[in-house]
Chain A
């Protein structure tokens, strides 16, 4: 770790302090870290003021967070053959900047868009043509092999993506997931020169609308660090509660959907209704069921007072017994357990190699929870959670969700008991960002580690805005969970991960 600079979550550092390593030293350093228990938080390229291409790696190892950088040539030896964690990150860099990672084992586009530098396309795509473009799928040869292609438009109300299965009969040998359909150019928009600053939080909370609180927290904390804004204790508590309500609502909805996927309808109906109660609690604070509009750099936009705390306390008291019983109904039905157990297993070894995060990681035995490792907001007042079943199957992922619902239901009343009123910030907000600075923010949103990374130039304008949704790590985990499974188990496996398409496609 000698060549890396240790940093703190949500604390700005000067760009000049980031070690600017020789590429081979950089490569050896990040490989050493990631092959020995370290995980990638961010790994991205940017063009500096002189249009020189730079590479930044933010790595977490144990309780510590590190950063290092280097200059990037038009071609470099890929890190993926030695460490799978880099696989998607290197493809993303190739797509965004037209840089070739030599000997990358599966170099193809991530989202289908022109690179930012107007360089020749690495993948040989002609972007005047509509997606899917020109690229191969992983195939399995043999007389008995058949291929199943699904999407982008799926049955049901769900985001688009393409899934390509290689099967023998019912059995799936390989699943390749090709996304990109949801690409809206969010990063480019966030760093667009002259973009009014007050657009940033609006864009941030729509990066993934089901994670509006997670992404807007990361955004606000990054701005607060760069602009040196103080957040009131009461606002921190509200923001923590909002993130936990988001977790509860999404987990409840997914438990219902999992129940529906195994044709056990009562919990589907009950969880569906109860999820709405928690979305309505977010509305009580934010005026919006997903919490859009609530979190802004410097604090919160609306007051949260005794009246609102009482509504939340009452609702949690009213709904907890019923919710507990519906959970018991789901997890004690033997027909449900028979479908959940040993389905879609991702071993700890694979999960670690891929760097899975959130409940998908925890269900496979990787206990990382950034609420505990890199606490923000009021998380120093929230006790840690533990998980019983962590063997990586659908049942593990479902049980972890149930445990997290119960944990959050206990955490919120304790936070409410502080009885701190939170006054809103003034609008329109005005702030200046520290020049030549770097900040990375990490929050444990419901799917896992969300991270935003900002670099400013010498005028304090945003030079690079990098967003990472936990889905960027975890989609590969879903693909692995389908190996040697029946294809009919795909919906169940998919829902147990429930990953974000737009969060991946940005």
Chain B
């Protein structure tokens, strides 16, 4: 008992005051990228060709952050002339199209469905489904329950039964072998329900795009309401997206 008290004293109070106070992530964190429109077209074409995820459109000068794994290769290759990644973690969008970006995203709070805010704004229970996820999206979703983030203080929680859930949060490129389980879990959630695609895998197949063993795009199975990009999304990206979409 004494040790419990000692450790409690030592560990102190660690929960962030976000969103009341902003959080700045370490400068090397690769968040929202900017595509510099004035960049030399030839360099842009070279970077687009070398992009492992084929996420760069050199003609329209856009980057698809639904495909991008934020590996940073384009920034290094162009020495920042084509792309620079900022430490802005606010990446969630309510439409797939908005993820094709040159550096700004629509304000999420203004693009969510208003009935979701009234239905789930005070209490949101989600069922998480890993469908071919590599466990980095899963792990960085799980940490939202740790004291620093403390997701439950916002009335948001991950629950065991889809019957108790208001929606599903899907990670992974939807392996063919998980397709049936995703669909039956979705069906088991009572309507109205919300669908969240988390991580580039569930948005576009991520690193596994082109594999015959994955579906690669959750939206082709069920309509997605909220997209959270990243490989994996930083916990702050998920937290920001949930708060702005539902609150």
Contacts and interface: CB of A to CB of B under 8 A. Distances in A.
Interface in A192-235: 192, 196, 198-199, 201-203, 205-210, 212
A124 interface: no
B76 A182 contact: no
Task: Report the interface size class on chain A.
Answer: 35 or more
Nearest to A308: B28
Contacts of B28: 283-287, 302
A185 B211 contact: yes
Nearest to B210: A189
Interface of B: 3-4, 6-8, 10-11, 14, 25-26, 28-30, 50, 52-53, 69-73, 76-77, 85, 128-143, 145-148, 158, 160-161, 172-173, 175-181, 185, 201, 206-208, 210-214, 231-232, 234
Interface stretch (A38-46, A149-157, A413-421): A149-157
B180 A273 contact: no
A293 B72 contact: yes
Given A183-B177, A273-B11, A287-B72, A209 B213 contact: no
B3 A329 contact: yes
Interface stretch (A77-85, A91-99, A320-328, A391-399): A320-328
Nearest to B206: A206
A301 B50 contact: no
Contacts of B234: 289
A283 B29 contact: yes
Contacts of B161: 155
Contacts of A270: 7, 11
Instruction: Describe B's contact surface by its main secondary structure.
Output: mixed
A428 B48 CA distance: 11
A210 B136 contact: yes
Contacts of A105: none
Contact of A155 (B10, B160, B176, B213): B160
Contact of A276 (B129, B143, B211, B214): B143
Given A157-B128, A284-B28, A322-B11, A206 B207 contact: yes
A302 B143 contact: no
A358 interface: no
B52 A185 contact: no
Interface of A: 111-113, 130-131, 152-153, 155-160, 180-186, 188-189, 192, 196, 198-199, 201-203, 205-210, 212, 253, 266-267, 269-270, 272-273, 275-276, 280, 283-290, 292-293, 301-302, 322, 325-326, 328-329, 332-333, 424, 427-428, 500-502, 505
A181 B181 contact: yes
Contacts of B146: 269, 272-273, 275-276
Given A272-B145, A293-B70, A502-B132, A182 B30 contact: no
User: When A and B form their complex, which 9 residue pairs have the shortest distance between CB atoms, in order from nearest?
Assistant: A209-B136, A209-B134, A155-B160, A185-B213, A272-B146, A428-B50, A130-B180, A185-B211, A206-B207
A359 B47 CA distance: 42
A286 B232 CA distance: 13
A209 B52 contact: no
A312 to B, nearest CB: 12
Contacts of B50: 198, 427-428
